[in-house]
Amino acid sequence: MSNAVVVKTEELPKAFLEVHPHNLYLYCKAYASGLRANTAQTKTRSQVSGGGKKPWAQKGGGRARAGSLRSPIFVGGGVAFGPSTNKNYDQKVNKKQKKLALYHAIAEKAANEKVFVIDSVVIESGKTKDAAAFVNGLGQRDVLVVKEMIDDKTFLAFRNLQNSYLVEANELNAYLAAAYNSIVIEKAVWEKLTKES
């Protein structure tokens, strides 16, 4: 396997260096919002079972009037202001912002010498220990590995590694680029990425 080349800030295209960091913030916020399950649910007083009978007389008992034991003020009653079950958390980020966010995330990594360009990432044995040796050889805490096309053997090798994540070029996004400590990217993918800028 070829040696990895560290990308420095001065080697980046101008477009990578002139991006406002707010683009990355907006993209990551939108990405995280999109991951929300939106499954929180509680029952209102109309959904809780029971409570059909008026618990005590309207007047004469000395207590406050009550029409149902399933009111939110009673134990076992419905929830007054529970979470919204049909809320849409999606946030819009346009194509240009997505691209700028990715550029900024990569530029930040390059500033810390955390971007490695390699001819190709192929683990022909398909063994996790060989993939681990490759990752450990870089001396990084955790690694995002970007391949042009993932082959079966390489996929199997990286599948169970905790300190790395293998993605194809079309799956690369600003959130992943920012989340991982360093990025290993194939030369063909890197050239296409820098050419587009």
Q: Which domains does the chain have, with CATH numbers?
A: 5-37+91-196 (3.40.1370.10), 42-82 (no CATH)
The confidence score (pLDDT) of residue 37 equals 85
Among 10-19, 122-131, 136-145, 177-186, name the one with the lowest average pLDDT.
10-19
Number of other residues whose CB lies within 10 A of the CB of residue 131: 25
Q: Write the pLDDT tens digit of every residue in 28-49.
A: 999 999 998 888 899 999 999 9
What is the mean predicted confidence (pLDDT) over 171-192? Answer: 93
For residue 167, list its beta bridge partners. 146
Backbone phi, psi, residue 186, to 5°: -65, 150
Q: What is the pTM of this model?
A: 0.79
Query: pLDDT class for 156, splitting at 50, 70, 90?
Result: very high
Query: pLDDT class for 197, splitting at 50, 70, 90?
Result: low
For residue 143, list its beta bridge partners. 164, 182
The confidence score (pLDDT) of residue 1 equals 46
Task: Give the list of residues 6+ apart from residue 165 with CB closer than 8 angstroms, or none.
Answer: 142, 143, 144, 145, 158, 176, 180
Q: Write the pLDDT tens digit of every residue in 123-141.
A: 999 899 999 999 998 889 9
Share of the chain above pLDDT 70, in %: 98
Mean pLDDT rounded to a whole number for the chain: 90
User: Is 80 exceeded by the pLDDT of residue 160?
Assistant: yes
Query: pLDDT class for 177, splitting at 50, 70, 90?
Result: very high
Q: Write the pLDDT tens digit of every residue in 74-112.
A: 999 999 999 887 888 889 999 999 999 999 999 999 999
User: Is 80 exceeded by the pLDDT of residue 196?
Assistant: no
The confidence score (pLDDT) of residue 25 equals 96
The confidence score (pLDDT) of residue 194 equals 87
Q: Is residue 185 within 8 Å of residue 121, measured between CB atoms?
A: no
Q: Is residue 149 within 8 Å of residue 168, measured between CB atoms?
A: yes
CA separation for the pair 34, 46 (Å, rounded): 31
Q: Is residue 101 within 8 Å of residue 130, measured between CB atoms?
A: no
Q: DSSP letter at 2?
A: P
CA separation for the pair 178, 15 (Å, rounded): 18
Edge-to-edge strand list for the sheet holding 164-168: 5-6, 115-118, 182-186, 143-147, 164-168
